[in-house]
Amino acid sequence: MAPNDSENARHDSQATSRSRGKWIIVMASFLVVLIAALLPKARVNSPGQAGPIAASEADNAASSGRTGNTSTRPHRFPVPPGISANQIVADKFVRFAAKRREIVHALASRAQVPVPATVENYFDALQTGRWDAAQELFKNLTDLRSSPAGSNVLGYWRAIAEAQGAAQQVHSWPAQKLLDYGHAVLGSLRPGMAYFGGTDSGCFIPLMLNETGEGEPHIMLTQNFLSDRHYLDYLSFLYGNQLTTLTPEDSQRASEHYMADAQKRLVHDQSFPNEPKQVLPGENISFDDGRVQVSGPVAECLINERLLEKLMALNPGLSFALEESFPFKSTYAEATPLGPVMELGVASQNAFSADTAAQAVAYWQNNTDQLLADPEASGSTATQSAYAKMMVAQANLLMSRNFPSEAEQTFHLADQLAPGNPQVVFNYVQLLIQQNRLAEALPVVAGALQAAPDNQQFQVLNRQLQLKASRK
């Protein structure tokens, strides 16, 4: 079940809220799983089932030959004397927007279609710093794309979405923190690495810095649209001479294999209602006239997971790094921490040792101390959430590789940095509940409610924990 054009229009037209929409559903499903774990005789799913998000970007000569978290020093983007971080970010964004405009024109020319005046006006607004006007024009563009007259826009929509995504990040982050974040991701990548950005921060910030920095740029991908034929065409246009890209047939096969597996798991759950469920929370699977039907973001992510594995298999000469949004758990067996992100496809038995796990914790301890001591970072929800997401992703990876102590330490650091972040709270509490440590889970939820008192999911979780505590 590859997403159809209307679904992709919905996702892409909301570039800066793409991950947020999925995670509202996924985290609500995760809450169901977690509450189930609090009930008598409940079965708890394996660690990392509903993990969170992360970061992306390009190169640094000092990273040559680096594997794992070999340095715990904080990454700070060097700002030359006499130039402010705001000036650097503004300049980089204008250059990036101009590059995306060039791509729009190149793709439109190839397809022999005109570029509407609204597109030109949108890029004009971006490049002259007229934020409110750009947002209004972007809304007009999403309406155009969804209309019958907007079919021509589909071929170059991803370039528009990337410009919008970068604009949103520039508007949301303190300039120096944005530069530091992108520098941390890019500085962890080895030359020639391809990078998957999952979250909006992890995708658009490294992408912008990758294309406006010095040195050889990286191949920049996202894990979220590998089943979209327009995105595959876009990748082929950008990287066709560097990357063997997926085909529509690859996408179709991944969808068919997923559908067959989904049907098998649904039949199991219907035939054996007393056994643990195989259909995942939030995975919408049903029968309609004897045919299996699937829908929703969880199914879409599971198809993209298969396609990511296929893309890696098609490019055995490339190494890949991932800043994840939805956790692709099938990648964990051959993944290892790489600075704030993860390197994929590391088959060596020695690649993930106890030293590797300890280095990951040290890396995040150092970064958490730095961020908490920085008023600009501690006052920025965007900064806190982006780093906390990467920490949760690595904690889930640590747990999956049988380093529970290091995973717990990383969750704890993420909770210190962003106590009101749902992905941090639910993952951290799940670990504690699995270990029968209810007394330690309660203050985590209490801290979350203090940080976000109106969060209904936290309120439900707190009531369930309190009820379980009262029965002991």
pLDDT by residue, tens only, the chain of 472 residues:
333 333 333 345 444 444 444 544 455 555 545 555 554 433 333 333 333 223 333 333 333 334 455 455 556 888 888 899 999 999 999 999 999 999 999 999 999 999 999 999 999 999 999 999 999 999 999 999 999 878 889 999 999 999 999 999 999 999 999 999 999 999 999 999 999 999 999 999 999 999 999 889 999 999 999 999 999 999 999 999 999 999 999 999 999 999 999 999 999 999 999 999 999 888 889 888 778 888 888 899 999 999 999 999 999 999 999 999 999 999 999 999 999 999 999 988 678 999 999 999 999 999 999 999 999 999 999 999 999 999 999 999 999 999 999 999 999 999 999 999 999 999 999 999 999 999 999 999 999 999 999 999 999 999 999 998 988 7
Give the separation between CA 309 and CA 307, rounded to whole angstroms: 5
SS (H, E, C) 393-459: HHHHHHHHCCCHHHHHHHHHHHHHHCCCCHHHHHHHHHHHHHCCCHHHHHHHHHHHHHHCCCCHHHH
Give the separation between CA 469 and CA 472, rounded to whole angstroms: 5
Q: Which residues on adjacent β-strands are paired with residue 293?
A: 286
For residue 169, what are the CA distances in angstroms to 122, 129, 222, 341? 17, 14, 16, 19
- pLDDT for 297: 87
SS (H, E, C) 174-201: CHHHHHHHHHHHHHHCCCCCEEEECCHH
- pLDDT for 79: 83
Residue type, 8: N
- pLDDT for 87: 97
What six digits make up the tokens of 101? 């405009």
pTM of the predicted protein model: 0.86
Give the separation between CA 354 and CA 360, rounded to whole angstroms: 10
Residue type, 185: V
Give the separation between CA 445 and CA 430, rounded to whole angstroms: 11
Give the separation between CA 389 and CA 124, rounded to whole angstroms: 33
Do the bridges between strand 291-295 and strand 341-344 make them parallel or antiparallel, or are there none, so unpaired?
unpaired
Sheet-wide strand order for 320-323: 219-222, 194-197, 320-323, 341-344, 336-338
Residue type, 247: T
- pLDDT for 150: 83
Query: Any idea of the CA torsion for 313, 318, 322, 326, to the nearest 10 degrees?
Result: -20
Cα first-last separation, the chain: 46
Give the burial class of 309: count Cβ atoms within 10 A of its Cβ; 0-12 exposed, 13-18 middle, 19 or more buried. Answer: middle
- pLDDT for 104: 98
**Residues, the chain:** 472
Give the separation between CA 103 and CA 173, rounded to whole angstroms: 26
Give the separation between CA 210 and CA 309, rounded to whole angstroms: 24
